[in-house]
Every structure is written in structure tokens, then in C-alpha cells.
């Protein structure tokens, strides 16, 4: 049956494209095309309106000034928020997670986020950098994920989830959202209860977010196919299985590096 090409939104790659997270959109497009599903990437840059009716959205990482520009634009435009309200699937990485939260801190300034995730971000004392692995929680839109998640974290952000958000994964290697010191500091400020350590990312509504670079969808094909299925309105089991030996070898290598 003919259908319109799957519309993949690459949101603000000019400011939130520092760590190669543009690759997530490429992975979604390639995994669709390998199944003879037509797919196109819609590149949305700073100053351009975000279409609210795309099938799936990818948001990447960036530095402090880029985060502020991205948040201001996405709040003023409103297209991404309308897409989330309509249940369009989204994957946000690192700074993307922070920007979609309620607020994030840059120096002494607290910047308003887009508000799609019940989360606030301050700073950790030391940068978290290195391999990150987790066991998926299966919360909300991530239901059905069963395979370990892996990526590479590189951030100073300490993200504390509010009651409306749930973590994407329980960390088995690496740091994740916040270390113990940052969690305790957040609790003293009335953000959280100091127990939010050992988790990565957030799931709320149709939004899945993580601190994992890699890009994360190249390293975690089950997550990529979950987003594809959501974008198409089908169950992941309805997608034709793909056998890509190089991806299997990559996963084995990265999972082995946790030890």
C-alpha cells in the first residue's frame, strides 16, 4: 500500500547538533528505507517554524548558549509543544533533555525550558564523561524495551525528575542524570528527595529523553524501531525484522566496555 513518506523532524541541528546526534534522524530514515518504507528528513533550523504534524522528532545536544537559543525559539514557536500534545513521538538527547524540561541553569541564570518534561537541571561539580549503560524501565512510551541501552555521556548537567516524569533506564554503568552530591543539593533546594541517582533519561507522554550520545539510535536498534513503530502507529512486532551484523558487533563491543 502506498503511503506518504515518513516525516522525520530534525529539530534545530544548527544549535543542537554538537555531538553527532543528527545521526538519530539518519538511523530512523535508513531503518525505514531498509524495510521499503519511504522516509524523509525535515531539517528545521533556528528561526524556522517547527511543523506540528511530522511523524517523529529528534532533538540533539549542544552547549550552553545554544541551549538558550533553542529554548527561546521552541517556546516562542510552539510547534513542538503542539506536536507533543498530539502524541507525536520524540527522542531528545542530553541538552535536548534539558531544553525540554521545566528549567535548566546556565551559570547563575535559570532558563525556562519548553516544559514537555517534568524536570529541572542544575550543574554537577564534575563532568560526567564515558560509557553509559542502563536497563530500560519500560515506563510510558518506552514500554516494550527489553534490551540494555548503551551510549556515551558527556555532560555537566544534573537533571532531577518531577513526579510527572519517569526515568528511561536504571544505570548499570556510568553516571546518568545526576550524581549523589547533585541530588542532595537539589533536595535542599526543594527539587526532589535526594534519591534520584542511578537513573538515566526521562519518559513523559510521547517524549523519550536520555543523556546517551552515540548516536543512541545507532547503538540501540530496539529503541530506534520502537520510535519508528510509534511514528507509523503500529506495534514494533509489525515491523519487518532487520539483520545487520555490524550493528550486532557494535552492541557487543559497547556492552563489553562496561566492565
**Which tens digits make up the pLDDT trace of 131-160?**
999 999 999 999 999 999 999 999 999 999
pLDDT higher at 254 or 243: 243
Which residues are known binding-site members?
Answer: 127
* Element holding 110 (H helix, E strand): strand 109-112
Q: pTM for the complete prediction?
A: 0.94
Q: pLDDT, tens digit, for every residue of 213-227?
A: 999 999 999 999 999
User: Which pLDDT score, from 0 to 100, does residue 255 have?
Assistant: 73
Q: Compute the distance between CA of residue 257 and CA of residue 259 in angstroms, rounded to an integer.
A: 5
CA 186 to chain centre: 22
The residue ranges of every structural domain in the chain are 6-256
User: Which pLDDT score, from 0 to 100, does residue 165 have?
Assistant: 97
Choice among 42, 155, 173, 213 that is catalytic: 213
Active site residue 259: no
| 3-state per-residue secondary structure call for 137-189 | CCCHHHCCCCCCEEEEEEEEEEEEECCCCECCEEEEECCCCCCHHHHHHHHHC
Residue in 115, 108, 107, 91 with CA at minimum distance from that of residue 212:
91
Instruction: To the nearest 10°, report the CA torsion of 157, 163, 167, 172.
Output: 80
* Of 39-48, 179-188, 194-203, 247-256, the least confident: 247-256
Q: How confident is the model at residue 2 (pLDDT cuts 50, 70, 90)?
A: low
Which residues are known binding-site members for substrate?
Answer: 127
User: Which pLDDT score, from 0 to 100, does residue 257 have?
Assistant: 65
**6-256 CATH:** 3.40.50.880
Given a cut of 70, whether residue 241 has pLDDT beyond it is: yes
Instruction: To the nearest 10°, report the CA torsion of 116, 118, 122, 123.
Output: -80
Percent of the residues in the chain that have a pLDDT greater than 70, as a whole number: 97
pLDDT higher at 19 or 158: 158
Residue in 48, 49, 28 with CA at minimum distance from that of residue 40:
28
Choice among 94, 155, 173, 259 that is catalytic: 94
Active site residue 213: yes
* Of 6-20, 94-108, 174-188, the least confident: 174-188
CA 80 to chain centre: 14
Instruction: To the nearest 10°, report the CA torsion of 146, 148, 154, 157.
Output: 40
* Element holding 72 (H helix, E strand): helix 64-77
* DSSP, res 18: T
Amino acid at each position: 500500500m502506498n503511503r506518504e513518506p515518513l516525516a522525520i523532524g530534525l529539530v534545530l541541528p544548527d544549535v543542537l547538533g554538537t555531538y553527532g546526534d543528527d545521526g538519530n534522524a539518519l538511523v530512523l530514515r535508513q531503518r525505514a528505507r531498509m524495510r521499503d518504507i519511504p522516509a524523509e528528513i525535515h531539517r528545521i533550523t533556528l528561526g524556522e517554524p517547527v511543523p506540528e504534524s511530522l511523524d517523529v522528532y529528534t532533538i540533539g545536544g549542544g552547549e550552553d548558549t545554544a541551549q538558550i537559543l533553542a529554548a527561546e525559539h521552541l517556546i516562542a514557536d510552539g510547534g513542538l509543544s503542539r506536536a507533543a500534545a498530539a502524541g507525536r513521538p520524540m527522542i531528545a538527547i542530553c541538552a535536548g533533555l534539558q531544553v525540554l524540561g521545566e528549567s535548566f541553569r546556565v551559570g547563575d541564570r535559570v532558563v525556562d525550558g519548553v516544559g514537555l518534561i517534568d524536570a529541572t537541571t542544575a550543574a554537577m561539580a564534575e563532568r560526567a564523561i564515558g560509557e553509559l549503560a542502563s536497563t530500560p524501565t519500560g515506563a510510558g512510551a518506552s514500554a516494550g524495551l527489553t534490551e540494555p541501552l548503551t551510549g556515551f555521556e558527556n555532560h555537566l548537567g544534573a537533571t532531577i525528575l518531577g513526579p510527572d516524569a519517569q526515568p528511561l533506564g536504571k544505570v548499570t554503568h556510568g553516571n546518568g542524570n545526576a550524581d549523589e552530591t547533585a541530588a542532595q543539593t537539589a533536595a535542599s533546594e526543594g527539587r526532589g528527595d535526594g534519591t534520584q541517582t542511578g537513573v538515566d533519561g526521562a519518559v513523559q507522554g510521547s517524549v523519550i529523553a536520555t543523556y546517551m550520545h552515540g548516536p543512541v539510535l545507532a547503538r540501540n536498534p530496539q529503541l530506534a524501531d520502537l520510535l519508528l513503530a510509534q511514528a507509523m502507529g503500529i506495534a514494533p512486532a509489525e515491523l519487518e525484522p532487520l539483520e545487520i551484523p555490524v550493528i550486532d558487533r557494535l552492541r557487543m563491543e559497547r556492552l563489553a566496555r562496561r566492565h
